[in-house]
Amino acid sequence: MALAEDLGVFLDDFGVSCTAGAVTALGILDMPSQVLANGMVLSTDYTLTAKASDFGSLLRGSAITVAGVAYTVREVMLIDDGSFVQIGIQKT
């Protein structure tokens, strides 16, 4: 017997509003920084985690607004069992 789970509970506490085309849903924005070039450069790599059913069909170059900020999709990757996606994004 398959379990029915509410994926929204994973996003409720830390999720921010995201809009791509006609779809608006919650996603978790991560902004980890990296130190590059022997400590001379600091870079931020933006990643959005969201339900695959909401944003899994986005393509490279698609526009998405996250917490009111415009981004462009770099790549979309399924994670774990495919219920969620991790979307690499860059500020537009």
Record the pTM: 0.85
Q: What are the pLDDT digits (tens) for 65-85?
A: 999 999 999 999 999 989 999
Is the distance from CB of 58 to CB of 76 less than 8 angstroms? yes
> Rounded distance, CA 66 to CA 36, Å?
26
The DSSP bridge partners found for residue 4 are none
Local structure of 53: helix, strand or coil: helix
Q: What are the pLDDT digits (tens) for 43-60?
A: 888 999 999 999 999 999
> Rounded distance, CA 76 to CA 85, Å?
7
- Residue 40 pLDDT level (bands cut at 50, 70, 90): confident
Ordered domains of the chain (ranges, CATH) = 14-91 (2.40.10)
Q: Report the first-to-last Cα separation within the chain, whole angstroms.
A: 45
What token pair was written down for 37?
């070039």
- Lowest-confidence segment of 26-35, 70-79, 83-92 by average pLDDT: 26-35
